[in-house]
Structures are given as C-alpha cells and as structure tokens.
Amino acid sequence: MSRSFECVAVVGLGLLGGSVALAAKRRGVAARVVGATRRQDVRERALREGAVDEIASLKDVARGAELVVLATPVYAMADTLRQLAPGLGEGAIVTDVGSVKSPLIETLPGLLPPGAVYVGSHPMAGSHERGMNHARADLFEGATCVVTEAQDARAVERVHEFWRGLGAVTVRREAMTHDVEVAWVSHVPHVLAFAFARALENAPAGAGAVAGSGFRDFTRIARSDAELWGDILTANRKALTAPLQRVGAALTEIARAIEAADAEVLEQILASARETLSRTSPLPSGEHTACTETNTPSSTRGGDGTGDRSTDHE
C-alpha cells in the first residue's frame, strides 16, 4: 500500500481510534501517527504497542498533521475540534468515526480555520468491547466505511484513500441519507437489543442457564456502552422515529397472530420477513441459516467513538 499521508493525528484512542492508529502504522498508510488521549495508561499502551509515534496535547496534536481523525464521542467532537483547530494548517483534512453525520456536518465545518476542510466518515466496524486494549490493526479489513460529500472533491478522495488503505470498502453518502440508513441497520437493532435485555428482568431465574448462541448473538450489542449509545440514539432521533414505529407495528402484528393461535398468518409473516431480509442483506457465500442452535462465535466486525470509549458501529 502506498503511503497516503506523512502525518495523521488520531484524537481519542479507544477501540476505534486505537485501531485507526494501529492500522495506519502497520499498513504504511501514514509515515507518522500522533495521538491524543486523556488517560495516562492509554498513552503508555499506545506508545508501547507502536500505535502512535508520539502523544500530544489537544492544543498541539494537529500541528503538522495532514489528516486529523476525531475518535471521541459524537457529543464531544465540537468541543474537541475547537481546542485543536488553531493547530490545523492550510489544506489539513478533518474526519471522524461518528455514527451520526448530520449534526456534525452542520457544526464542525464552521469551527475550522480557513484552508482546512471537514469530510465525515463512519466505519461500520467495532465491538461491544471498548478501550485501547481491544484495538486491532485488522478491524477495518472488509468493513464498509461511509464517507460523506464535501465541496473539496480532492479532500473527499483522500479520505476514501485513507480508509481503503486501512482495508475498508468505502461508499459515498450524503449526511441525511447516511443517518436514515444506519437508523435501520445499526441503531434500531441496538434499541431492540437494549429493550429485550431490559425486559429480561422479568424472565425466569433459570432462563440464562438454557440460553444458546442465538441468545448470545442477539444480545451481544446490548452490552455496549450505555452513555455512548444514549448519545448516538439521541443525536439520530429524527431518523429513528419512522423505523421504530414500523418495527413496533411489526411486533404488534406478530403478537396478534400468536395470541390468536393463527399459525397460517404467523407463517406468512415470518416467511415474508425472511424474504425481505434476503433481499436487503443476503448471507455471504458459504453461510447458511439453520433451525438449531450452533456454537459459532459472533463476529466483532459489524456492518457500529469515543474518547477512550468505543463500541459497535454496526
């Protein structure tokens, strides 16, 4: 892989930021990686593992950087950018790993000095685990990364090149289109997993002892960071309204068929659901569905930042 940038700054060395730094170094995408993080133990680990060449303060981290990657929680990105913006040079590009794009598109460009440009990103990769200790150089290999549009076409292309250099497959989206799409394929699944996990307080005491891999696969993302996901869901509230209403209606339809013991209607609903899922998200080659529980471990790469916190961008 040819080098894309001489110097990349990564602000926030959690799961995603740490993985960006590791991948940029090990894949040769950046000659030099500078990191910023609040925690001393994370600074030491990032230096020890070779994820970064240097640790700097927010005031200094962007100095000399061609690309700055914001890997803090979405709610903290504006304040973070305000602090590092004076160090941005002419032609510097700022991107991020945030799960919601519209609020960032509306806010971050106005915080930049003349000559710098913002291009939004969202790598659809992550884990319910968090922190630099779970960062991986291969986290983005084969993962989709959304890159938003911007007026500076060359800056947009360089951000595409960066993520492709980390192993991702990039796609272009306008900010609102991104937010609506991820509401369906990432944010609503998290809401459902959290809602089910909350309802488990009413389950029989021994239910956990008979749970299989289906239960583990479905509930894995409900172990994600509550503060971070509260931020994400609130930030994308406008795009979430319609899909949550549709899912609620579908649950009601299924519940009514079950209560009526109408196996024929229930079978039609379930068959329609399978068909819709196959059209929307076909199984990769070699995978198949089964009617029994398996012991296949769930993947940590999704299709869902973080200061030093990070979680799924699935």
Q: Is position 55 within any domain?
A: yes
The three-state secondary structure class of 201 is: helix
Q: Is position 107 within any domain?
A: yes
Q: Is position 299 within any domain?
A: no
Residue 17 sits in a domain whose CATH number is 3.40.50.720
Q: Is position 124 within any domain?
A: yes
Q: What is the pLDDT of residue 282?
A: 59
**Tokens at 286, concatenated:** 């070699």
Q: Is position 293 within any domain?
A: no
Q: Is position 292 within any domain?
A: no
Q: Is position 106 within any domain?
A: yes
Question: Taking the CB of residue 13, how many other CB atoms lie within 10 A of it?
Answer: 32
Q: How far is CA 64 from the centre of its chain?
A: 27
Which DSSP string do the residues of 92-134 spell out, in sequence order? -EEEE--S--HHHHHHGGGGSPTT-EE--EEE----S--SGGG
How confident is the prediction along the chain (314 residues), in pLDDT tens digits per residue? 457 899 999 999 999 999 999 999 999 999 999 999 999 999 999 999 999 999 999 999 999 999 999 999 999 999 999 999 999 999 999 999 999 999 999 999 999 999 999 999 999 987 767 789 889 999 999 999 999 999 999 999 999 999 999 999 999 999 999 999 999 999 999 999 999 999 999 999 999 999 999 999 999 999 988 988 999 999 999 999 999 999 999 999 999 999 999 999 999 999 999 999 998 875 444 444 333 333 333 333 333 333 444 433 43
Q: How far is CA 294 from the centre of its chain?
A: 27
Domain that holds residue 150: 1-282+304-314
Cα distance between residue 24 and residue 52, in whole Å: 9
**pTM, full prediction:** 0.84
**C-alpha neighbours within 13 Å on the C-beta side of residue 246:** 9
The torsion angle over the Cα atoms of residues 281, 286, 292 and 293, rounded to 10 degrees, is -80
Q: Is position 289 within any domain?
A: no
Q: What is the pLDDT of residue 281?
A: 72
Q: What is the pLDDT of residue 127?
A: 73
Cβ contacts of residue 310 below 8 Å, gap of 6+? 14, 15, 16, 17, 18, 71, 126, 127, 130, 131, 134, 225, 228
Q: What is the pLDDT of residue 189?
A: 96
| Total domains present in the chain | 1
